[in-house]
Amino acid sequence: MNDYYNLEALTSVIHAALCGVMPEWVALTIECVIVGVIIILLYAVLAVIMIYMERKVCAAFQCRIGPNRVGGKGGLLQVPADVLKILIKEIFTPAHVDKFLYSLAPYLVILASVFTFSCLPWNNGGLILHMNIGIFFVLAASSIGVLGILLAGWSSDSKYTLMGAMRSGAMIISYELSIGISVLTMVVMAGTMDIHELVMGQADGWNIFKGHIPAILAFIIYLIAGNAEANRGPFDLAEAEQELTAGYHTEYSGMHFGFFYLAEYMNLFITAGIATTIFLGGWMPLHVPGLDGFNAVMDYIPGIVWFLGKTFLVIFLLMWIRWTYPRLRIDQILTLEWKYLMPSALVVLVLMTFCTLMGWTF
Amino acid sequence: MSISLQEIVFYVVAACITVFSVMAVTTGRLLRAATYLLFVLFGTAAIYGILGYTFLGAVQLMVYAGGIVVLYVFSIMLTRSNKDMKYRIGYAKLFSVLASVIVGAGLMLFLIMTNGFALNVIPQGDELPVEKVGMALMGMDKYQFLLPFEAVSVLLLACMIGAILIARKEK
């Protein structure tokens, strides 16, 4: 395949130029800082886009118009205005809370989400954290977020937050199993955990086509469990408004609340991004073996467009699910995971291993 | 520049681990102790990362930070515990604790120095391939660990069954 948009040439030129004028470790430090700033900017901008998208999609499913006043016809400036408002709000600390843990909790949640965010393959040569255990690191880093939720709920010193934290803690820990097993299913097929190699291996067709039946089953399991991981409906009982006001972040205000909100949306993006990476080819254009002309045309579209396009498609799917199904009760959620989802994920894993061993994948 | 970036990172991480380990045992609040322990485990994972053993680093994050500490926090939240543990520590106790700490540290230092670990340079961080880890864990040849791996999983199963038996209410 021809790749016209490989970023590796650009980054190595920049690195060589920096190394020419300063020692290598200074150059490395500067590059790390710049990349870090880019990650955080992207993080914030994508969150704003997704909040706008959520409002519009939700409105469409509920036969409303959604935000339409601020900033012209589409209400485009509604979310930036909300962000500005939340930035200038007072960060309020209730009496009798454990101040250290209370202010630490939002940062733990954000930390886990930024770590996983920086493992996404944006483009060829645009992978930021590259390790040969890539996808396993994503699973490991995302398991830290639940601690932030538990600490937030406990340290706020309120019944609502404690119950919200317990519920969402129990839910996230349970659904991590299904996510892990369905990711493992695809690792068995692809034969690598390296995110770059995972994407490169899909040059002759995305994994969901190459792995046919078991891959599609794993994709469905991943989407269900991923929705629960991101604490979104129909699994949003951590903040079931009718019962718990706002769940584990009831007592938070201003930007501390903003961090939880941001992390929730970005976890949705990360869930969709990882689904894109392991099932839908990451930044890899759509290639059909045998149709060389078609493949050559597809190569002209940059990888980042493919990645964002596929990710937002998965996000739309998840939003569709959220605004269609009613919320489950906690016992129903745990029954769904432990009695149906996890066993079926295991069955799919065995099926995929069998198919791979027999050479039935393409 | 005699000291490399990797060494600087190592010393920063090592200092963090030391500070948070001490804080974990000296703090009076149970949940804070668990949180400091979490930071210590982050530090250990970072050290595995510096050594190029990213697989073990990720396992450390997943099993200890995301599993064990979460279990600790869960059990602290579910049980009714005194928020401030203000124990009076007598002088005799304090003295014996200090003495055993100093003797233990001296023994450790002696062992490390005579073995020559500390004199070695920190190995440059080439990542250990996952295939190698997998082969070592699942192989049956010399220096491969299939039998211990399976034995440990049977042990874990036995522990779980035992825990369920103890926790179960009598009918």
Please report the pLDDT score of residue B2 as a whole number. Answer: 56
Chain B residue numbers with beta carbons less than 8 Å from the beta carbon of A100 are 32
Would you say residue A83 lies in a domain? no
Across chain A, how many H-helices and E-strands are there?
A: 16, 0
Contact B5 A173 (CB under 8 A): no
Q: In a 3-state reduction of DSSP, which class is residue B152?
A: helix
Q: What is the pLDDT of residue B69?
A: 87
**Record: contact B77-A29, CB cut-off 8 A:** no
Write the residue in A28, A151, A173 that is nearest to B35 by C-beta.
A151
For the stretch A275-316, pLDDT in tens is 998 888 888 888 887 777 878 887 888 888 888 999 999 999
Residue A27 lies in a domain: no
- A147·B38 Cβ contact <8 A: yes
Q: Given the structure tokens 């489950």, which residue do they identify?
A: A328
B32 contacts in chain A (CB < 8 Å)? 98, 100-101
**CB pair distance less than 8 Å for A154 and B73:** yes
Average pLDDT score over chain B = 82
Structure tokens at A21: 């004028």
Is the pLDDT confidence value at A1 over 70? no
Residue with the bigger pLDDT between A273 and B128: it is: A273
Determine, for residues A140 and B58 on separate chains, whether the beta-carbon distance falls below 8 Å: yes
Question: Which residues on chain A place their C-beta less than 8 Å from a C-beta of chain B?
Answer: 23, 25, 28-29, 98, 100-101, 104, 131-133, 136-137, 139-141, 143-144, 146-147, 150-151, 153-155, 162, 165-166, 169, 173, 176, 193
For tokens 């020419």, name the residue.
Answer: A20
A17, part of any domain: no
- Confidence band, pLDDT 50/70/90 cuts, at residue B1: very low
A6 falls within a domain: no
* % of chain A exceeding 70 in pLDDT: 97
Q: How many Å lie between the alpha carbon of B133 and the closest alpha carbon of chain A?
A: 11
Q: Give residue ranges of B with CB < 8 Å to any A CB.
A: 1, 4-5, 29, 31-32, 35, 38, 54-55, 58-59, 61-62, 65-67, 69-70, 73-74, 76-78, 127, 129-130
Q: What is the ipTM of this complex?
A: 0.81
As a whole-number percent, the residues of chain B with pLDDT over 70 amount to 85
Inside any domain, residue A3:
no
Q: How close is the nearest chain A Cα to the Cα of B116, in Å?
A: 28
Task: Work out the percent of chain B whose per-residue pLDDT is above 90.
Answer: 19
Instruction: Give a yes or no: residue A51 inside a domain.
Output: no
Tens of pLDDT, residues B119-167: 555 555 567 777 888 888 888 888 788 888 889 999 999 999 998 888 8
What DSSP line would sit under A276-306, residue for residue? HHHHS-TTPPP--TT-HHHHHHHHTS-HHHH
pLDDT tens figures, A27-47 = 888 888 888 898 888 888 888
Q: How many CB atoms lie within 10 A of CB B106?
A: 10
3-state helix, strand, coil in chain B (%, to 5): 75, 0, 25
Domain that holds residue A130: 91-358
Average pLDDT of chain A is: 84
Nearest CA in chain A to B132: A132
Residue A273 lies in a domain: yes
**A43-78: pLDDT as tens digits:** 888 888 888 888 888 888 888 888 888 877 777 888
pLDDT tens-digit map of A140-189: 888 888 888 888 888 877 778 888 888 888 888 888 889 999 999 988 88
Q: Which contacts (CB < 8 Å, 24+ apart) does range A300-308 have? A: A300/A4, A302/A4, A302/A5, A302/A123, A303/A3, A303/A5, A303/A122, A303/A123, A303/A124, A303/A126, A304/A5, A304/A122, A304/A123, A304/A126, A306/A281, A306/A282, A307/A120, A307/A121, A307/A122, A307/A123, A307/A273, A307/A276, A307/A282, A307/A283
**Pair A80, A74: CB distance under 8 Å:** no
Count up the domains in chain A and report the number.
Answer: 1
Residues of B in contact with A165 (CB under 8 A): 77
This prediction has a pTM of 0.86
CB contact under 8 A, A132 and B70: no
Whether A21 maps to a domain, the answer reads: no
